Amino acid sequence: ASDKFNTALISAGEYAINLKNGATPEMAFKSAQDISQKYLVRNKYGLNDPELSILSKGMAALQHIILETRQIPVLGQLSKWYVPFIQTPMNIGILMTELSPLGLLRSKGFTPEVKAKITAGSMVTALGVFYALENKTTWTTPSDEASKQLFHATGRKPFSIQIGDKWIPIWYLGPFALSFMLPTAVKYYSEDNGKLFLKTKLKS
């Protein structure tokens, strides 16, 4: 459903732009379709795709290894059942990585499209910083019992953002979820979790 929605949204916009730039309807449609296919969560990312960052290439390599298990006797029959449930989340992870500041981890491939992805992700991360500093985002549930009870008593949910008086799962931000939550992860592991660690040490 997400793929269908994004394909329609992206291809319609690209088609209009191509027509405005003087392309024929046939050329405009083909170009729009080609671009929209790059953002599908069922897409197969190439190991040597020059536009992928180092982290994304690592995930693509792992994905390739998993897909190759389909060629192994006996195991290949089983892999047909579980591969789709692994491939799609990894594709989402690659897409999230490319649409975040983590996309800067590359030695080359800074095409205009890649720069636009990183810029958009960085802007979302900047917004995430604001929400994290305002304590309007959450990471995982606290591990100690007292903090966990307070966490749930205030209506918080893991990996969520506060909109008004509601806590909304961050996954509603789609491919920008990782970009938005990077500041929250840093805050949790450097500040909140650090305080918990220090408190535990003092008690012991």
Please, are residues 114 and 139 in contact by the beta-carbon 8 Å criterion? no
Based on DSSP, count helices (H) and strands (E) in the chain, helices before strands. 8, 2
162 membership: H or E segment, kind and range: strand 160-163
Q: 21-43, pLDDT tens digit by residue? A: 999 999 999 988 888 877 777 66
User: Helix (H, G, I), strand (E, B), or coil: what is residue 81?
Assistant: helix
- Which among 39, 43, 86, 42 is positioned nearest to 65, based on CA atoms? 86
Alpha-helical (H) ranges within 69-144 are 75-98, 112-133
Distance, in Å, from the CA atom of 115 to the CA atom of 123, rounded to the nearest integer, reads 12
Give tens-digit pLDDT for 61-103.
Answer: 888 888 888 788 777 777 777 777 787 888 889 989 999 999 9
Higher-confidence residue: 17 or 64? Answer: 17
* CA 8/CA 180 separation, integer angstroms: 25
